[in-house]
Amino acid sequence: MKLILNIKENLEKLLKQEDTDHDKKITIEDKGPKLFIATAVDGTTVEIKGTYFLSNFLQELVLTQEIGNVTAEINFDYIFEKPVDRLNRMIKDYYWDGLTRRIDASGIIKTLTDTKTEADKYYLYIPNGDKTAFEFYQKIAEDINENEISVIELPLEITPEYVYSLNNKSGVVSLALEKNKNNKLEGVPFVVPGGRFNEMYGWDSYFESLGLIIDGRIDLAKAMADNFVYEIEHYGQILNANRTYYLTRSQPPFLTSLTLAIYNNLSSNKESKDWLTKLLNSSIKEYNSVWLNRNRLTHTKLSRYYGSGIGLPPETELTHFDSLLKPFSEKAGMSVREYYRKYLNREIIEPEIEEYIKHDRSIRESGHDTSYRLDKISAHLNTVDLNSLLYKYEVDIAEIIKNEFDNHFTSYEDKIEFSETWLRKAEERKSLVNKLMWNEEKGFYFDYNFCKNQQTNFESATTFYPLWAKIASQAQADLLIKNALPVLEYAGGIAGSSKESVGIINDERPQKQWDYPNGWAPHQIIIWEGLKKYGYNNIAKRLAYKWLYTIVRNAVDYNGTIPEKYDVVTRTHKVFAEYGNVGTEFDYITREGFGWMNASFKVGLTILNKELKEKLNNLIPPEDIF
């Protein structure tokens, strides 16, 4: 049913009646009657009842208002749409586009904006020697008069000292350019996570791409892979994200998985094969130059995360390091704020804090920022997650060379790569992971402290990565399911860690966002896929349903909210830890959701059968099903 409505009239009346807490949303916390009579221009009325349908009406009014008309045709099928169907449609039709950025004239200001740091002007940094990009962006900067943009060429060697010197003039580092159908240069697009994360992130992009591919947006997934190739070529690694303060830090490696996910959905032709050649070459280069370099390859022959840099990371919230700095500031007789400012500017240097920073930057490279699993020891760990990912690289590279390049491939520097060589690398890593990280007695994979030559015994969701990578034997998988699920599975899905491993939380030992009771989209996806590889399809369905129920329940109750993370114990998006919860602050309607959360919804739906999808649409809680 479609009706012509006066937008302003209905919108003002709706908000006045139903948005009782004046947050420009309609949620279960509003105290209105939860019953509204929408009136069309011709006098036709429609009764809308309940928080969910009222919030849908609010969203549709705002979407039509933005077209600029006084009246608009409202599709009431969208108002009364079932929640799973609505979320599925909104992600596909609106959220991906809302998260898409380009670094060119059409979107440069939106991309340069960074709420994580304070700046009174914009800086765009270009790789050394990329003359085309430098001239392209200089022209754009000259043409944009209302904003001051400085285009700066990076030095040939990017050192921690240089990156530190940019703390007060941080900015975006450029990504790939391409020619459009009119033979004009434009920025290769990318998808950002959302909210305060307004740049292209490393592992986020892999998970986002899984959702994009499901929604038929192979173009965007392929574009992000192309941007990664540019980063490896010009910055030496896939960056944590494309801003200056990330130039000495990578992210969890997923490039071969991203490559295969895309290539398997491309047409079988020369263009696709050429693209695969480029991506395979970049993957091999990244593997060797980043994950086997002297900072990351340890004496165990396994790798570690290691984000080099000087001083406190400038992109963190102002109060993030308060619990660390407080004892030192009190000893120095100054406020925490003053101590933080002086430390950030290197007016104070404390050996104990410097040691903490070394591990903190390593944690940030791991993507798990932050967790007591890694706190104060990250740089001393061969982690389960990283070495599972690198094993997957080795197997993927071997299989691509075998299946697509007749068992041999000429990589960068004209080196001949053989499938068998990469399989041997994989077998060696698999053997070491199982030797050093597998605990038969506890039925867990644990990170390995190579300085102490012992396992950490911290129970984390990353214990399931060897299933996703297919490192574990069937017997190990069986034992892992038996022992890990009972301490990590909760009402809303898998928590980042067990409650016991986290320990006591108080003012001196604050909550870390990647720990219990919080759950994260990448963990859920990796675990679902890992379980399926070992025949645990029913458990994968149960976990996927729990996670999707949490997403849908919160969206229904809170005006379509799709946040960065959830408390999976209480199934709420109201997470109060470290940086808050990105994706919860918006007016009227979320424009983006959150990147990998959108993707987890899409991937999760592919795991549920028709019956479970219908139950989810009817908001039947998992405890009434499983």
Q: Are 18 and 32 in contact (CB under 8 A)?
A: yes
Report the C-alpha gap between 39 and 46 in whole angstroms.
Answer: 7
In the chain the domains, ranked by start, together with CATH numbers, are 2-81 (no CATH), 103-187+199-291 (no CATH), 322-381 (no CATH), 382-624 (1.50.10.10)
Q: Average pLDDT of the chain?
A: 96
Task: Report helix, strand and coil shares of the chain as percent, to nearest 5.
Answer: 50, 15, 40
pLDDT for the residue 314: 87
Residue 314, preceding peptide bond in cis (omega within 30° of 0): no
Residue among 607, 582, 469 at smallest CA distance from 530? 469
> Which residues face 126 on adjacent strands?
153
Q: Classify residue 588 as exposed, middle or buried by CB count within 10 Å of its CB (0-12, 13-18, 19+).
A: buried
**Among 564, 567, 578, 592, which one carries the catalytic annotation?**
564
In the chain, % of residues over pLDDT 90: 92
For helices 202-214 and 218-235, give the axis angle rounded to 10 degrees: 160
> What's the whole-number mean pLDDT along residues 486-511?
95
List, for residues 546-576, the tens digit of each pLDDT value: 999 999 999 999 999 999 999 999 999 999 8
List, for residues 73-106, the tens digit of each pLDDT value: 999 999 999 999 999 999 999 999 999 999 999 8
List, for residues 190-214, the tens digit of each pLDDT value: 999 999 999 999 999 999 999 999 9
Provide the sign of the torsion angle of the four alpha carbons 395, 192, 210, 228, taken in this order: negative
List, for residues 37-63, the tens digit of each pLDDT value: 999 999 999 999 999 999 999 999 999
pLDDT for the residue 76: 96
> What's the whole-number mean pLDDT along residues 229-246?
97
Determine whether 564 is an active site residue.
Answer: yes
What stretches of 188-287 adopt beta strand conformation (E)? 190-191
Q: Are 287 and 391 in contact (CB under 8 A)?
A: no
For the chain, report the end-to-end CA distance as a whole number of angstroms.
Answer: 37
Q: Is the pLDDT of residue 367 over 80?
A: yes
Q: Are 56 and 557 in contact (CB under 8 A)?
A: no
Q: Are 235 and 247 in contact (CB under 8 A)?
A: yes
Report the C-alpha gap between 411 and 280 in whole angstroms.
Answer: 8
Q: Is the pLDDT of residue 320 over 90?
A: no
List, for residues 18-30, the tens digit of each pLDDT value: 999 999 999 999 9
> What's the whole-number mean pLDDT along residues 414-426?
97
For 114-144, give the DSSP string. Answer: -TTS--SSEEEEE-TT-HHHHHHHHHHHHH-
Q: In the structure encoding, which two tokens stand for residue 543, read together?
A: 């976990």
Q: Is the pLDDT of residue 118 over 90?
A: no
**Among 369, 394, 417, 567, which one carries the catalytic annotation?**
369
pLDDT for the residue 276: 98
Residue among 561, 541, 579, 405 at smallest CA distance from 571? 561
- Specify the DSSP element, H or E, that contains 72: strand 71-75
C-alpha to C-alpha distances, 151 to 135, 166, 335, 587, nearest whole angstrom = 9, 13, 37, 34
pLDDT for the residue 582: 94
On the CB side of 290, how many CA atoms lie within 13 Å of its CA? 30
